Chains A and B, each alone.
Chain A
Amino acid sequence: MPFGTETTHTVVQGEYISLLASRYGFVDYRTIWDHPKNARLKALRKNPSVLHPGDEVFIPAREPKEEPRPTDQRHRFQVRRTTLRLRVVFDEFYYRPLDQTPCELHLASEVRALTTDDRGRIDQEIPMETQDGILVLKPTTGPVEHMPFRLGVGRLDPVEERSGQVKRLSNLGYYRTPVEEFDAREFRSAVEEFQCDSGLSVDGICGPATQAKLKDVHGC
C-alpha cells in the first residue's frame, strides 16, 4: 500500500491485528489497534489476536519518516518491532499441567526443540506473519504417544461467536468433532460437560456466564 492512503480491511479467518500490521507495513500493531477509529472494535474484541471474520479494521495512512543523513556513509536504522508470541499451556483432564514435557515447534523456517516449564507452558516468539505450524508433544511420562497439533495462529474467534466457543471447547478437550464442522449435539454435550466441570449450572446453553468462564479457563 502506498504511503498516505487509509483503508478499511475486512477480516478473514486466520487474520489478527499483528498480521495486518505486518502486511500493511506497520512495525507496531498498536498503531492500528489503538487508533481512535478502531475504538469500537477494540472494545468489542478486547484481544487484538482474536478477531472474527467480517470484522472491519481501520488501517490508517502510513506517514513516511524523514531522517536526513549525509550520503557516503553507512547508517544504521533500528527498526522497533513489537513481538508476536505463541503461548500455550498444556494440562490433562482431571490431572495437572503437563510439566517438563519435551515438544517440538515446527515453523515454516525452522524446528525448535522445547520443553514445557513446571506449569506446563511454552512461550515462544514467532515470526510476525505466522499463520500455521505444527506443535508435537513428546511426553516421556504420562500419555506416551506423540501428539501432533496443527497450529492455527490467529484462528481463535471471539468467545461471543459460536465458532469461538467451539474452538475453545475443542482446545479444552470437550468438543471432539473437527472444529470446522458444527455438530449441534456434540456442541451441547460439550457445553454441558464444561459447565459441569466448571461448577456452572448445567443447561447446555453457552450464554454470557459460560462464555466468560470459557474465556477464563482457556486463557484468552
Chain B
Amino acid sequence: MPGDVHSLTPVTLSGTHPVSDELLLPVGAATGNEFNRVRLRLIPKACFRVEDNHFEFDSSFILPFGLTFNVDPLKKLLERHPGSKLSVFGHADPVGRDDYNKTLSGRRAQALYALLVRDVRLWEDLYYDHDTNGKDEWGVRAVQIMLNQVGPTKTGNVSGDLDEQTRQALRDFETGAGVAPAGFNARREVARPTFNRLATLYMDRICVDDDDKDFRLKKTDFLARGAGRKGKGDFQGCGEFNPLLIFSREERARLDRPENRKQRNKENEPNRRVMVLLFRPGSRIDPERWPCPTVKEGVAGCVKRFFSDGERRRSPQETRRTFEEARDDPTKLGTFACRFYERLLINSPCEQLLRTFQIRLYDPLGRFIPLAPCTVSIGERPASRDRADPRGILTLRDVEVPVSCTVRWGFPPKEGEEPVLSFSLDVLLTAGVEAPEPGKPEEARQKLNNLGYDGGELETDIRDFQLDYGHLVTPEVPPTGVLDDRTLNLLREVYNEPADDLRRTEVKG
C-alpha cells in the first residue's frame, strides 16, 4: 500500500514510501563450501514529484511558481531522511515519438538535477544543444524570464518576442554583470559567458526554501555520486513509458483529432512529471551497471527493461486505465512498461492521479488577492489553513468529488497579526463532466454563485453582476438583469479568467 503524502502544492508533491518489515533470510546451512548470497535492496524511502506546470510547455526550462522553485518540500524530506541518495526520473506523456519523449523527459530531469546541484554547464548544454526537432528550444523567452528575475531592467514581454526592450534589458544585464556586451547573435542566442552568468544568478534566485534561504545539493548526494558519464545513475528520462493514465482506445482516437489537442494535453498533464527518489542513506551504485540509459542515449536500454507484456501495458486498451487501479487490483493490467521503474515506485504515494481544483480569491471590487490567507473545509475534513498563491489562486488537490467545500478568506495581515477572514463561499466541487450544459440558465446560476452572487433571484444577481463588471467592456453592458449573449460572454470571461494560462510567469518588481 502506498505510504504517506507530506506535502501537496500546485507544483510539487512529496511523500514517504511505506517501510518494509524486518526481512526473513532463509539460508541453507553449509556443509560444503557453498555460500548464500544476500543482496541489499535498493529502497526508495521518499519521493518528490515536480509537476508539469513547473516547466515551460514542451520544454525543459524550469519556471518559477510565484517567484521561486518550490524546493521546500524536498528540503523537508531530506531533513526527515538525512543522508538519502537521490536519483531523478523524468516522464513525458504518451503523445509523439518514443525517442523524442525520452529526450525531452531526460532533458527535464537534467534541468532539475542541474538546478539542485547548481551545475550551470548542464543548463548551457540544454540551451545551446537542442536537437529536438525545434522543440525544447529555450530561446528568447527563457532569457526574458531569467532577465526579469535577476536583471537590472525588465524586458516588457516574456513571449519570446525579441524586441528592443529585451535587447536593452540584456545589454543592461551584461554591463552590470561585467561580461562582454555580446547581445543576441543571429540564432537569437546569448553568448556563453552571458548565459553562464545569467543562469547562475537565476538558479540561485529561484532555488530557495520557504524562508528564502539558498538551497542546493552536492553531486555526492546522488546515487552515482556524479561519477557516471553524462549523469548516468543520477538523472534519466523515462520517456513516455510510465504513464499514470492511459486513455481508452476510443478516447485516444477522439483526443488525437486536431480540434481536441488542447483537451488531450490537459488530460495528459499528470503523465508529465519529474520524480526525485530518495534512496536509503548511503545507497550507492556503479553507474556502468545501472539499468537506465543516459539522457543522451536512445530508448533501447529502456526497452530492455520492459515487462514481457510492456507494450500492451503502455498501449490504449478497451477502457481508460490508471496506475493506481492496477496497483490495487492484481487482475488489472499495469500502465508502466518499465519493470525497473515500476518495481521502485509501485507503493509510492507520489505516483497517483490527483484531482485538482483551483479557486481564485477576489475582494469585493473584483481584484484578486495575492497570498490571500484562508481556511478550507472540504466535505467532512476539518477546516485547514491555507494560502492563495501570488496570483490569488488557491489550489485544492487530492479531492474526491462531488463534495461541498467552504472557503473563508481575507487580506494578508500585517506582520504578527492574525488574518481576518471576512469573505466566505460555499461551492460544490464536481468533475468536469457534471458541469451544467453551456448556454442554459444553470450555467449562469453556477458561475454567478461561484463569483459570490448568491442573493436569490437570478435576475437580481445578474443585475448586480452587470453593475460590477459591465463597465469592463465597450460598449458597456447595462444593468438590465437579463441574461443576454453579451452578459453571458462577460460572465464566462470573468469566470474563466482564473483558468488563464498559468505558464505565463509573474514578472517580479
Chain B residues in 8 Å Cβ range of A218 = 36-37
CB distance from A8 to the nearest CB of B (A): 21
Whether A85 contacts B308 by the Cβ 8 Å rule is no
Q: Knowing A94-B285, A151-B25 touch, does A184 contact B37 (C-beta < 8 A)?
A: no
Check B40 against A86 for contact (C-beta < 8 Å). Answer: no
How long is the Cα–Cα vector from A196 to B310 in the complex, in angstroms?
A: 14
Query: CB distance A154 to B29 under 8 Å?
Result: yes
A29 nearest CB neighbor, chain B only = B31
Q: Does A141 contact B (CB under 8 A)?
A: yes
Contact A121 B26 (CB under 8 A): no
Cross-interface CB contact of B308 among A16, A88, A147, A204, cutoff 8 Å: A204
Q: With an 8 A cutoff between CB atoms, is B498 at the interface?
A: no
Q: Determine whether the beta carbon of B30 is less than 8 Å from that of A86.
A: yes
With a cutoff of 8 Å between Cβ atoms, the chain B residues found around residue A203 in the complex are: 308
| CB–CB A88/B36 < 8 A | yes
Asked whether any CB of chain B lies closer than 8 Å to the CB of A107, the reply is: no
Q: Is A25 engaged at the interface, CB distance under 8 Å to the other chain?
A: no
- Docked Cα-Cα span, A175 to B22, in Å, equals 14
Q: Are B25 and A152 in contact (CB under 8 A)?
A: yes
Tell me whether A82 and B39 are in contact (CB under 8 A). no
Once bound together, how far apart are the Cα atoms of A183 and B330, in whole Å? 9
A 203-220 contacts with B by CB, 8 A: 203-204, 217-220
Q: Is A144 an interface residue (CB 8 A)?
A: yes
Q: Are A151 and B27 in contact (CB under 8 A)?
A: yes
Which bracket fits the contact residues of A? 35 or more
- Tell me the complex Cα distance, A150–B38, Å: 12
A93-B42, A126-B29, A184-B330 given; A219·B289 CB < 8 A: no
Looking at chain B's contact residues, the main secondary structure is loop
- Given the contacts A152-B24, A178-B24, A196-B305, A84 and B29 also touching, CB distance less than 8 Å: yes
Given A16-B28, A179-B26, also A156-B36 (CB < 8 A): yes
Q: Which residue of A lies closest to B347 (CB)?
A: A176
Pick from A18, A91, A141, A157: contact of B29, CB under 8 Å: A18
Residues of B close to A167: CB separation below 8 A: 26
Nearest CB of chain B from residue A153's CB, rounded to whole Å: 5
**Cα distance A174–B248 in the bound complex, in angstroms:** 32
Q: Which B residues are in CB contact (< 8 Å) with A196?
A: 304-305, 339
Residue B283 lies at the interface, judged by CB distance under 8 Å to chain A: yes
**Complex CA–CA separation, A139 to B280 (angstroms):** 12
Query: Quick check: which of A36-44, A45-53, A57-65, A71-79 contacts chain B, the rest being far away?
Result: A45-53
Residue B188 CB within 8 A of the other chain: no
Total number of residue pairs linking A and B with CB closer than 8 Å: 182
- Complexed CA–CA distance, A84 and B31 (Å): 6
Chain B residues, CB < 8 A from A96? 286
In the assembled complex, B97 has its CB within 8 A of some CB on chain A: no
* Residues 124-153 of A contacting B (Cβ, < 8 Å): 126, 130, 135, 137, 139, 141-145, 147-153
**B39: nearest residue on chain A (CB-CB)?**
A173
Q: Which of A29, A173, A193 contacts B40 (CB 8 A)?
A: A173
Give the residue of B23, B31, B42, B83 whose beta carbon is less than 8 angstroms from that of A48.
Answer: B31
- Residue of A50, A135, A142, A144 near B28 (CB, 8 A) is A50
Q: Which of B30-70 contact A (CB under 8 A)?
A: 30-42
Chain B residues whose CB sits within 8 angstroms of the CB of A130 once the complex forms: 29
Q: A16-B29, A149-B25, A220-B28 are in contact. Are A189 and B339 (CB under 8 A)?
A: yes
Identify A173's interface contact among B42, B289, B304, CB under 8 A. Answer: B42
Which residue on B lies nearest to A157, using beta carbons? B26
A92 interface residue (CB < 8 Å to B): yes
Q: Is B290 an interface residue (CB 8 A)?
A: yes
Q: How far is the CB of B108 from chain A (nearest CB, A)?
A: 24
B282 interface residue (CB < 8 Å to A)? yes
Within the complex, the shortest CB–CB distance from A118 to chain B, in Å, comes to 14
Q: A178-B24, A189-B343 are in contact. Are A87 and B330 (CB under 8 A)?
A: no
In angstroms, Cα B41 to Cα A93, docked, is: 7
Q: Is A198 an interface residue (CB 8 A)?
A: no
Q: How far is the CA of A203 from the CA of B306 in the complex (A)?
A: 11
Q: Which residue of B lies closest to A217 (CB)?
A: B37
User: Which partner residue on chain A sits nearest B306 by CB separation?
Assistant: A202
Query: Would you call B25 and A202 a contact (CB within 8 A)?
Result: no
B340 within 8 A of A: yes
Which residues does chain B contribute within 8 Å of A90, judged by CB atoms? 38-40
CB of A149 within 8 A of CB of B23, answer yes
Given contacts A94-B289, A171-B36, A196-B339, contact A220 B30 (CB under 8 A): yes
Interface contact B285-A95, CB-CB below 8 Å: yes
A-B contact list, 29 entries, CB within 8 Å: A16-B29, A47-B32, A47-B34, A85-B30, A92-B283, A92-B284, A93-B285, A94-B285, A137-B40, A142-B284, A149-B25, A149-B38, A150-B23, A152-B24, A153-B29, A171-B26, A172-B37, A173-B41, A176-B20, A185-B330, A189-B339, A189-B343, A193-B340, A193-B343, A202-B308, A204-B307, A204-B308, A219-B37, A220-B36
Sample of 14 more A-B contacts, CB < 8 Å, known A149-B24, A171-B38: A16-B28, A84-B29, A84-B30, A86-B29, A89-B37, A142-B283, A143-B284, A144-B281, A152-B25, A154-B29, A179-B26, A180-B24, A196-B305, A202-B308
